[in-house]
Amino acid sequence: MARKSAYIITASSDLETYHFTSTSTERTIEKRIEFQNLNYEFEGRQLYNLAFGDINENGEINDEAQSNNGDIIKIMSTIFSAIYEFTARYPERCVYFTGSDEQRTNFYQQIIRRKHEELIAHFSIYGEMILNENESDYEEFDLTRDYHGFMVVRKLNEE
């Protein structure tokens, strides 16, 4: 089952980079999603970091930009569409993401909680817990707990 993005996105042939434009009546902002190999495995699957943000004047992702373009729901739908497409092509890969600050991480967590039933039909979802300065661990996402980051793993029975 293919997902439709809220915004039209263009993807690289390997689906590791996506571009789209956030548009409001005030301005247009170029955005990018990148899936970056972390050279780390989780349960035998290669782990990828999801990097996302506005494209700055140097052509790099600024994940701390405060766009406030009034389209956060469309942007999040677009990001989840990219995750869905990426993991459909590469079900042996899992995707990690966290916010660039605590407020964004909490926002992502709220979305996962709201869309939990829909998401678990296609993904196993894990929350990252910080154990100490150098260690973290993952547990199955618990709707009642707060996490530092999140990981989604495509269920292998998906096509």
Structure letter (DSSP) for residue 77: H
Helix (H, G, I), strand (E, B) or coil at 75: helix
Q: What is the pLDDT of residue 26?
A: 85
Number of Cβ atoms within 10 Å of the Cβ of 78: 23
pLDDT at 23: 84
pLDDT (0 to 100) of residue 71: 85
pLDDT at 112: 95
Query: 60-73 in b/e burial notation, b at 16+ Cβ within 10 A?
Result: ebbeeeebebebee
Strand locations in 10-116, DSSP E?
10-11, 17-23, 28-42, 45-55, 61-62, 93-97
Q: Domain-by-domain residue ranges, the chain?
A: 10-154
- Rounded to 5 degrees, φ, ψ at 27 are -165, 170
Which residues, given as ranges, of the chain have pLDDT below 50?
1-2, 159
pLDDT at 5: 54
Helix (H, G, I), strand (E, B) or coil at 57: coil
Q: Output the 3-class SS for 92-134.
A: CEEEEECCCCHHHHHHHHHHHHHCHHHHHCCEEEEEEEEEECC
In the three-class reduction of DSSP (H, G, I as helix; E, B as strand; rest coil), residue 30 is classed as strand
pLDDT value at residue 127: 97
